[in-house]
Amino acid sequence: MSEENTLMFPAIEPYRQGMLQVDDLHTLYWEECGNPAGQPVLFLHGGPGGGTSPTHRRFFDPAHYRIVLFDQRGAGKSKPLGEYRNNTTALLIEDIEKIRQMLNIDQWLVFGGSWGSTLALAYGEEFPDRCLGFVLRGIFLCTKAEVDWFLNGINHFYPEVHQRFSDAIPHSERGNLLQAYVKRLFDEEPAVYKEAARNWSRYEGSCLFLEPQAQAIEDFESDEVSLGIGRLEAHYMLNGAFMDEDQLIKNIQKIRHLPAVIVQGRYDVICPPLSAYRLHQAWPSAKFHMIKDAGHAAMEPGIAAELVRATEQFKLHRKFL
């Protein structure tokens, strides 16, 4: 039995799933798992554009939780894949509310990692009364410094990976890698944008784990994953996630009264620990767990174990006393 299987709950299948049309362009995939009468919990995937996977259901006790997962605009099984038009943080928040209302849920625990933590905070600050609390992993606040780190700073830890990322761009355009990739990711020619998406997504996939995982890199290179990841991450980074600079920290008082758990890998080079530390400084009542031997990925053993521990604590103590 793999370490993953011992850390998490057994694999489960949805008891209900469907497609929700949210506008003339986007239709979202959603699913429910676990206990239909249980405590609602919302899972928010990363990226943007990463999509959900069956593994994501396994952070929650299916006997206790009513587990809601969905693929955000342009991601996973949602249609169209990689679509960046009509795709903003405010619209994603509206989508969450549409799903909540469709499922007749009053309040839920909100669980998100990486970009999922960004969206969880943005949603909570917009609709704090709908949130029971938060489980957040690999914090990303989408500030200018974090975007610059992703595009350039990773070079300090993964120089060979960064070189491959930048070598895909003509030398004359390497002074602004984000703009250079945006130009190609949003090109009309499939051959151009698919190659750019693979290069972008491979770059991230190569840095996810403390010890790089060949399978993760291969998954991130696939068209099914890379198109959503490449296009939407660049789209949101280019636009500062459609938020004011450092908005999530500035508005933290709107959710500071709610319970939260922050889980961060000490050696996360995609979303470095400073962001999680800043969040905890602004939200001192949140429980903060720095995992000493982990990178970014939710499936790092120490991170996965702490995330499960957090959902178990919320299960036992609704108000997380």
Rounded to whole angstroms, how far apart are CA atoms 7 and 15? 23
Residue 2 annotated to the active site: no
Cβ–Cβ < 8 Å for 184, 172: no
DSSP state of 79: B
- Alpha-carbon dihedral sign for residues 242, 244, 248, 253: negative
Residue 114 annotated to the active site: yes
At which residue do the structure tokens 């296009």 appear?
231
- Give me the catalytic one of 268, 275, 280, 289: 268
Residue 268 annotated to the active site: yes
Alpha helices by DSSP H, listed for the chain, are: 3-7, 89-102, 115-126, 144-151, 159-167, 177-185, 190-205, 214-221, 223-238, 247-250, 273-282, 301-316
Q: Closest by alpha carbon to 144, among 74, 10, 238?
A: 238
Catalytic residues, by residue number, are 114, 268, 296
